[in-house]
Amino acid sequence: MEPIDLAVTALHGSVGDPALNSMNFLNEVAQHYPDAVSLAAGRPYEEFFDSALLHTHLDRFRRHLAEEVGLDRAGVDRTLLQYGRTKGVVHHLIARHLAVDEGLTVDPESIVVTVGCQEAMFLVLRALRAGPADVLFAVAPTYVGLTGAARLVDLPVRPVAGGPDGVDLEDLRAGLRRARAEGLRPRGCYVMPDFANPSGVSMDTAQRRRLLDLAAEEDLLLIEDNPYGLFPADGTARRPTLKALDTARRVVYLGSFAKTVLPGARVGYVVADQRVGEADGAVVPLADHLAKIKSMVTVNTSPISQAVIGGALLAHDCSLVAANTRERAAYARNLRHLVDGLARRFPAGGPVSWTVPAGGFFVVVSVPFAVDDALLHRSAREYGVLWTPMAHFYDAGTPVNALRLSVSAVTPESIDLGLDRLAALVTDTMSEDVTPECQGSATVRVS
């Protein structure tokens, strides 16, 4: 037998961390049961995918560089093929998109185009984590990519209760004060105000203003992640982003094109207009420091990928609302179909309840038993349906009595099939469940 070269304990602690293993585990389960109906994946809808469109996007961006930016042929080729600007080459188009779709005026120089929103998250956390007293806050349940990125820079994440309003402000305030009393330095609070992953909960506009007020009072940076904001359910009006309401540069805004254009480009961005005072008295946007860090992580985001996104933006005058007409309708239809389907299968007032989010991809189903990885395995193997245990979104890792369903990568038909199977699993588990009280509890409320 071949010897061992390295013990896992000799590697950085993150590689053994539940947050990093969580995605791996969920992907592996999905791979092991390829025929199971997946209500687990938060991937975008594939029905409209067409890789031939890559050519159209690329060519449109090349024409833009030639005709609007004024580059000659060598300049166009250099922009797409050579090393390039660390902060990116579609920053001006992203600024236009934010103006058109979000009513948000940002200086393109405060934007860093990143390798997906994940890199944006990582850069922000790397910049903010300066020492062992630093701590981050995040609304719980929390997107596992945030927790994982924090682990990579040894930044502890303290949960803030989410509750029905998207963030429990009193809990946040108490947590900040407790941390400071312990000698810790809160570096920011991570929030997803629109159709959060995984809770599905949104903050209303008044709550957003209250959160900004609290941030000002407590001198707190807010890290706003907004991957789902363009996907309200039918008839639901979109709300202003925190960043659009932010008049004091309290908000670092994270953007993604994974759901609004396509994940395969791996293009996201961060708006970081915070003014950083340098040792020599100069003032630069936080974006410049994030770019320096980026230069040592990925150098720059592939300009080919950026060109694909740039071309897609240009196709609709930088409006992703306009570009996503079909997708918005599909997600809204699926969400309605899932919620209606749950109501048909589980009696109102019974032991099974669920959220009815105002948009986005995710519905949380609360059940009267603990939902752990073993149950997911059983669900996949015996019932042929995949979903995500809510425990993966809590740091403690203890089972909670809830699971997340996603409506993004399915059809109404597969939703029906998946819900039939889920209902069978729930019924069987409830009839087997003899423990009078279940371990853990999830307080998941309707948005």
| Residue 298 engages its own copies in binding (rule: CB under 8 A) | yes
Which of 82, 105, 247, 431 contacts its own copies by CB under 8 A? 82
- 357 DSSP assignment: -
- The CA-based dihedral angle spanning residues 159, 164, 167, 172, taken in that order and rounded to the nearest 10 degrees: -60
Angle, alpha carbons 204-171-213 (nearest 5°): 50
Q: Which amino acid is at 236?
A: T
The Cα 258–Cα 397 span in angstroms is 27
Q: Which is nearer to its own copies, 167 or 262 (CB)?
A: 262
Is 49 among the residues that bind its own copies (CB under 8 A)?
A: yes
* CB-based contact 231:359 (threshold 8 Å): yes
From 171-179, 275-283, 334-342, 376-384, span contacting its own copies (CB under 8 A):
275-283
7 binds its own copies (CB under 8 A): yes
9 binds its own copies (CB under 8 A): yes
- Tokens, residue 368: 């009267």
The answer to whether 140 contacts its own copies (rule: CB under 8 A) is no
Q: Which is nearer to its own copies, 148 or 389 (CB)?
A: 148
CB–CB of 137/172 below 8 Å? yes
**95 lines the binding site for its own copies (CB under 8 A):** no
Tokens of 186: 């809160």
Interface with its own copies, residue 80, by CB under 8 A:
yes
Tokens 């009078």 sit on residue:
436
Q: Judged by CB under 8 A, does residue 330 bind its own copies?
A: no
Told to check if 396 binds its own copies by CB under 8 A, we report no
From the list 157, 203, 308, 338, which residue makes contact with its own copies (rule: CB under 8 A)? 308
Binding of its own copies by 177 (CB under 8 A): no
Number of residues that bind its own copies (CB under 8 A): 88
State whether residue 160 is helix, strand or coil: strand
Given 11, 329, 343, 446, the residue binding its own copies (CB under 8 A): 11
110 contacts its own copies (rule: CB under 8 A): no
Q: DSSP state, 232? A: B
Q: How far is CA 426 from the centre of its chain?
A: 28
Contact flag: residue 88 with its own copies (CB under 8 A): no
- Output DSSP code: residue 382: I
Q: Which stretch binds its own copies (CB under 8 A): 92-100, 239-247, 268-276, 341-349?
A: 268-276
State yes or no: residue 83 binds its own copies (CB under 8 A).
Answer: yes
Q: Which residue among 297, 322, 374, 396 contacts its own copies (CB under 8 A)?
A: 297
Options 199, 305, 355, 366; binder of its own copies; rule CB under 8 A: 305
Q: Which residues on neighbouring strands pair with residue 402, listed in sequence order?
A: 366
Query: How far apart are the two ends of the chain, measured CA to CA in Å?
Result: 56
Specify the residue, 149 or 402, whose C-beta has the smaller distance to its own copies: 149
Q: Out of 71, 276, 321, 356, name the contact with its own copies by CB under 8 A.
A: 276
Amino acid symbol at 3:
P
Distance CA 218, CA 214 (A): 6
